[in-house]
Chains A and B, each alone.
Chain A
């Protein structure tokens, strides 16, 4: 055997695991195996994070106990942007390479993203009232986050409005990709414009300007939210795969068990 053929065969093997992600049946099995354990990890992290955040962490010297909203506000806001990114990228991959699973990932992430965005807006509003004296201002950060909610809703509406699944996913993928421009706008809005919303606290270079006893519950809640997202996405993906592939043999075998 020549070295060249050895190389190509090992390269083929290396790519084998990656191609499985394009197989609906394999992805369904993967989601069924991992959705529950990941959900359990999320639940445990939520219990610890809530206890740390609501009981152990001290009140803020300026905002008192109202600052405790941070433990759900910041992770929601992060996930609102992260899920948009995941949605747009997988919709884009589906658009370019016609990978069905990729389209379905985008479809299952969209309602979650809308939910996280809604949570970020509501918790932010409930934090704004005692801190800024108002539930809402048309400030750059808040407005761009509201636009994100409309992008999610628009994506969901568009992908459900068109009867033909391929046309629907193509049209909504274009919308998702165009909407990507909103992500840097949200992130840098607090620097580009004069806003009521404060700048970055945790991701700031150098020392984060937050007490360790407050940072720890924030980090735990951050991981709890991310695990929740992953588990919820896998559960949703299972449904999308089943209904999309209902005519195939592997689905028939599963439903007959």
Chain B
């Protein structure tokens, strides 16, 4: 197991590359999903606001 993490002495280069890719890919994926949720909420509020305003007038 330690041998696996050691990567034949190239641990820094191998694990940094994999970490950069993993972090960016995960962040990108999660952020676009949460942006979608936020948009739905925001647009829903806008529509409701409009309906309420048109009901008043």
Q: A residues bordering B, Cβ < 8 Å?
A: 39, 54-55, 59, 64-66, 68-69, 72-73, 76, 111-112, 115, 118-119, 122-123, 126-127, 129-130, 228, 231-232, 235-236, 238-239, 242-243, 246, 251-252, 254-256
Known: A72-B18, A235-B36, A242-B43. 16 other contacts (CB 8 A): A54-B18, A64-B8, A69-B14, A111-B28, A115-B25, A115-B28, A122-B17, A126-B16, A126-B17, A228-B25, A232-B29, A235-B32, A239-B35, A242-B40, A251-B43, A256-B47
Q: Give Cα distance in the complex from A66 to B9, angstroms.
A: 8
Contact A246 B16 (CB under 8 A): no
Contact A236 B17 (CB under 8 A): no
Contact A72 B21 (CB under 8 A): yes
Q: Mark B30-57, 1 if CB is under 8 A from A, else 0.
A: 0011011001100110110000000000
Q: Would you give the shortest CB distance from B34 to chain A, in whole angstroms? A: 10
Which label, helix, strand, loop or mixed, suits the secondary structure of the A interface? helix
A-B CB proximity, top 8 nearest: A65-B8, A66-B10, A255-B44, A123-B17, A65-B7, A64-B8, A255-B43, A235-B32
Q: Give Cα distance in the complex from A2 to B43, angstroms.
A: 51
Which label, helix, strand, loop or mixed, suits the secondary structure of the B interface? helix
Q: Which residues of B contact A115 (CB under 8 A)?
A: 24-25, 28
Q: Which residues of A contact B43 (CB under 8 A)?
A: 242, 246, 251-252, 255
Q: Which residues of B contact A39 (CB under 8 A)?
A: 29
Contact A254 B40 (CB under 8 A): yes
Q: Which residues of A contact B20 (CB under 8 A)?
A: 119, 122-123
Q: B residues bordering A, Cβ < 8 Å?
A: 4, 7-10, 13-14, 16-18, 20-21, 24-25, 28-29, 32-33, 35-36, 39-40, 43-44, 46-47
Choose from A55, A65, A236 the contact partner of B10 (Cβ within 8 Å).
A65
Contact B17 A242 (CB under 8 A): no
Given A232-B32, A246-B43, A254-B40, CB of A69 within 8 Å of CB of B13: yes
Q: Give Cα distance in the complex from A228 to B25, angstroms.
A: 9
Q: Would you give the shortest CB distance from A87 to chain B, in whole angstroms? A: 16
Most buried by A among B8, B10, B18, B43: B10
Contact A243 B39 (CB under 8 A): yes
9 residue pairs bridging A and B, Cβ less than 8 Å apart: A54-B4, A64-B10, A68-B14, A130-B13, A235-B33, A239-B32, A239-B36, A242-B43, A254-B40
Residue of A nearest to B30 (CB): A235
Contact B14 A76 (CB under 8 A): no
Q: Give Cα distance in the complex from A251 to B39, angstroms.
A: 11
Q: Give Cα distance in the complex from A165 to B25, angstroms.
A: 28
Q: Would you give the shortest CB distance from A217 to chain B, in whole angstroms? A: 13
Q: Which residues of B contact A73 (CB under 8 A)?
A: 17
Q: Give Cα distance in the complex from A232 to B18, angstroms.
A: 19
Q: Which residues of B contact A59 (CB under 8 A)?
A: 8
Q: Give Cα distance in the complex from A199 to B8, angstroms.
A: 25
